[in-house]
Structure 1
Amino acid sequence: MQKRLQIAVQKSGRLLEGSLKLLKECGIRVDNGKDQLKASAGNFPLDILYLRNSDIPQYVEDGVADIGIIGENTAFEKQKQIKAILPLGFSKCRLSIAVPKNTAYPGPEFLNGKRIATSYPNSLRHYLDTHQLEAEIHEISGSVEIAPNIGLADAICDLVSSGSTLFKNGLEEKEVVLKSEACIVAHPALSEEKQAILDKLV
């Protein structure tokens, strides 16, 4: 019986739409719908696992999924033993630092000693360390952009695509921490058979 490659994709959102479009463009026909947790390709040895985006790096590291499609920002943030093998060119965004409008902002040194709210503490910490800055990181899981308005933080570090959410919340983007797009990540020790399937896919 032929081995099948297990690919993990986001179960909802922009990454899912881009992932399914990519598979379709590769000529891969998915037999059952995305409302299920698992689907199979009818014309290629590929099974699709629909998972929460933040869980995909762990599943790939553990070998439950052989490969996954995630944002580069997620791959960087989660710091798992996985390898990014191919940027895909969709779901482009950036992880940026923003402050309230009309804030006197001389440059990154503004962040020294400040409180910064983020859902990406590892990425933010790396940026601060690189710039030899010290700040108080407040890790929150959602609605990061309201943190300055409620007195929780002096700045935020969050994903930005169009900037409209920042504008609505009276914030201005000041620094880009990292640029991101969708990419394929893989378990670092795929079997020869599964690597051969992956090579056909990419």
Structure 2
Amino acid sequence: MAVVHNPSHCLFAVPKKGRLYEQVTDMLKGAGVEYHREPRLDIAICKDLNMTMVFLPASDISKYVGEGNVDIGVTGIDIVEENVSEVERVMDLGFGKCRLCVQAPVASNITDVKSLAGKRIVTSFPTLTKKFFDPLDEELGVTTNIRFVSGSVEAACGLGLADAVVDLVETGTTMKAAGLEIVATVLQTEAVLITNPQSTHKNIVNLLKHRIEGFITSKKFVMVSYNCSKEVLEAVIKITPGKRSPTITQLTDGGHAVSSLVKKGEVVRVMDELHAAGAQDILVFELTNSRM
């Protein structure tokens, strides 16, 4: 069945495959952005928003957003910087985190990245690589030979095609398997929500921002609720100050009910401290979404 884009709709570009695609679609589902994508189609209409989803290679999304072909998109900071895209960064999304690094063979025992200036570098990020090596080249009076390849960058040194590579490192497993090690970090990157500064759909962009912020908060925090006497109130609210402040309600017996957001990674420790301080009926509630 053909899907027809309404020209008045906001266009939202999403990575079409891979790990980033999975993370973005999970985020959009949690943020209440509903759509149905037909198999093998790279376009889908949203159910409750005047918005059309388009599924594109992550490496192209910042170009389309920067040129105004689409209004909003998700890609990596590394892609935005590599493409020198004139986009507005709406918000960092907290996933897809990795580093763009200069990597050299372990056997080369290179400890100073300056020793690679003037050498052969293979990368999928020639713009960022040149920007990194240009100051070193100028300082040392050399010219680094930067060669672009679209994939299998880590194999270049083993094949004798390069003295070092510049590539993304997430866990380091692929890098270590290729006998490489990090010499220097070029850029810290993660997924980012971007928009075209001239977009006429600022209302939808702002709505999406609030929805996504609410979902991200719900993934980071839980709600802790407990009762306490008037005597220990001051002590327990110091343990749970909340994201802004706790919600405190007076009970008929003279005590208080307290609710507060707590980071997920800290909740067990916080519960122990509350119990020791005299709090009772301590409960933890998972969040599915929020608005702050």
- Normalised TM-score (structure 1): 0.92
Name the CA distance, whole Å, in 2 between partners of 1:136 and 1:114: 6
Structure 1 residue 24, shift from structure 2 partner? 0.9
Structure 1 residue 161, shift from structure 2 partner? 0.5
- Which of residues 106, 121, 145 in structure 1 aligns to 2:154? 145
Give the conservation status (yes or no) of the 8 Å contact 2:65–2:195. yes
Name the CA distance, whole Å, in 2 between partners of 1:180 and 1:111: 23
Structure 1 residue 150, shift from structure 2 partner? 1.1
Give the conservation status (yes or no) of the 8 Å contact 1:9–1:16. yes
Larger mean Cα displacement after TM superposition, 117-126 or 99-108: 99-108
- Normalised TM-score (structure 2): 0.65
Answer 1 or 2: which has greater helix percent: 2
Report % sequence identity.
Answer: 34
Give the conservation status (yes or no) of the 8 Å contact 2:99–2:185. yes
Give structure 2 stretches of 5+ with no counterpart: 1-5, 210-292
User: Which residue is 1:156 aligned to?
Assistant: 165
- Which of residues 114, 117, 122 in structure 2 aligns to 1:117? 122
SS at match of 1:85: strand
Q: Greater relative contact order (Cα 8 A, min sep 6): structure 1 or 2?
A: 1
Larger mean Cα displacement after TM superposition, 70-79 or 166-175: 166-175
Structure 1 residue 3, shift from structure 2 partner? 4.0
Q: 1:90 and 2:99 equivalent?
A: no
Name the CA distance, whole Å, in 2 between partners of 1:172 and 1:30: 42
RMSD value over aligned CA atoms? 1.8
Give structure 1 stretches of 5+ with no counterpart: none
Name the CA distance, whole Å, in 2 between partners of 1:158 and 1:127: 13
Name the CA distance, whole Å, in 2 between partners of 1:126 and 1:163: 24
Give the conservation status (yes or no) of the 8 Å contact 1:2–1:45. no
Matches within 5 A, 1:1-202: 3-33=8-38, 35-131=40-136, 132=139, 134-191=143-200, 194-202=201-209
Q: 1:94 to 1:174 in 2, by over 3 A?
A: same
Structure 1 residue 114, shift from structure 2 partner? 1.0
Q: How many residues align?
A: 200
Larger mean Cα displacement after TM superposition, 33-42 or 166-175: 33-42
Amino acid in the other structure paired with 2:204: I
